[in-house]
Structure formats: structure tokens, C-alpha cells
Amino acid sequence: MSRTFKLSVIAAGLLVAAPMVNAYQAGDFIGRAGAATVDPDSSSGNLRTTLPGLEVVEGAQVSVDKDTQLGLTLTYMMTDQLGLGLLASTPFKHDIKGAGAALSGTGKLAETKHLPPTLTLQFFPLASGSKFQPYAGIGVNYTNFFEEKTTQTLTDTLDGAAQAVLGTPPGTVDRTDIKLDDSFGLAGEVGFDYLITDNLGVNATVWWLDIDTDADIGVYDANGTRLTTGKLDVEIDPWVYMVGLAYRF
């Protein structure tokens, strides 16, 4: 049973028991805070380089692990049933690990931090007086990557590949770095608020974010000369789960 389906079942159960109170109305702001987990459904293409004989390294792919941070959202109710929602958070940190036949099992190759501000148009289908307020939204996501770093594992792996394929001496690849392009994409969400008082409630929300990035990997010798640039197309496309408190003001 998927987590999205479980959320729908819980929401339906709460709806049956929801009494009518003075809940959401046009002009209200609803702030939410809680634990937000970014769980990537990641995949990538094969590593490409500019070196003859290593133009495409078959099976050299990566995956991105998940992270949990403080999630913050704010909704402005434009009408009793339409809201404008903004998702923010403290920076998420992700390890980038080897995947595919060539890199599976190599472990952590790089890391990055990111902020995923997301703007959605939200629809609240129930009457404004309902204590239980499910909603769905669609919008856009902008993901900003920063503080990208590679590991010695990546440097050693690329040095070994150069030795095996090009016959270079050990230590030819002395260091590496990585840069991830920022991403724009679509976003969708479903969630609900359940008001305990006229102002305070609980919240659960699930987002899907379309996050695609190009990774440029710089490969350098001991003199700091760039030997080549490796490139990877990475689809992160995470599910984001958040549970916390909601406050209407």
C-alpha cells in the first residue's frame, strides 16, 4: 500500500468525524511547520567525458539519497476555496552515490545541499466552515544547489578508470570537483489540515517535484590542469513528505 493511498484513507476517516467550525475563509493565512523528508526517485544517464576512449562510460551512474529537515509552508486564501501556497525549508543535504554496473558499491562519490522553494495554486474542496480541510495543488518548483563537494572515492575511481582504459600512470587524476545546475520543474501536492481549535491544527502533505539537473565533474592533475569534464544527466524527481502543525492567522 503506497504512502499516498494511506494518506487518502486517513483523510477520508477524519472527514466523517469533522464538525463544522469557523475555519478557512478568503484573506486567511495558514502557516505550517514540521518534519519534511525529501525522498528522491533518482536515476541518471551514463558518465560522459571528453577523453578519447572514455566518451561514454557504460554503467557509470549515480543515485541520490534522502534527507529530513524542517519544512515550512504558507498558504494565502485568495477565496474560500483557492489558496496560493509556498513551500520552504532549511537546506537539505544529500549524498550522491555510485550506481549502475560500473559504480554500484563504490559508495559516496559527492554531496550537495539544496533549497527547493515551490509555489502552488491550491484547491480546498470542502466548505470554508469544515474543521477538516483537504487540498490539492499544482505549481512550479525551483531548486537551488550549492556547497557541492566530491569525495576521494570519486577521484580514485576516475584515476583507476583512466589507468585501465587509457593506460595513464597511477595518480594522474589528483582531484575532482562537481557543479549541479539549478532546476525548474512542475510540482504537485495533496494534503490536509485538521483544526483542533479555531486556529491550531495538524497537517500532513505529500509533494512530487520534477527536479532534473546536469552535473559537471571537473577532473584535474597534480598541477591543477583540467584533464577533462565529466557530465551526468540526473533526474532526482523526489517525493516530499511533511507532517507537522498548522496555524491559521
pLDDT for residue 179 is more than 50: yes
Which of residues 30 and 14 earns the better pLDDT score? 30
Domain extents for the chain? 3-248
Query: In this predicted model, what pLDDT tens digit does every residue of 10-20 receive, in sequence order?
Result: 444 444 444 44
Contacts of 46 by beta carbon, 8 Å cutoff, 6+ apart: 56, 57, 58, 59, 60, 61, 100, 232
Q: Which overall architecture, per CATH, does domain 3-248 show?
A: Beta Barrel (2.40)
Alpha carbon distance 34, 170 (integer Å): 49
| Cβ atoms of 207 and 240 closer than 8 Å | yes
| Cβ atoms of 196 and 101 closer than 8 Å | no
pLDDT for residue 232 is more than 60: yes
| Cβ atoms of 140 and 184 closer than 8 Å | yes
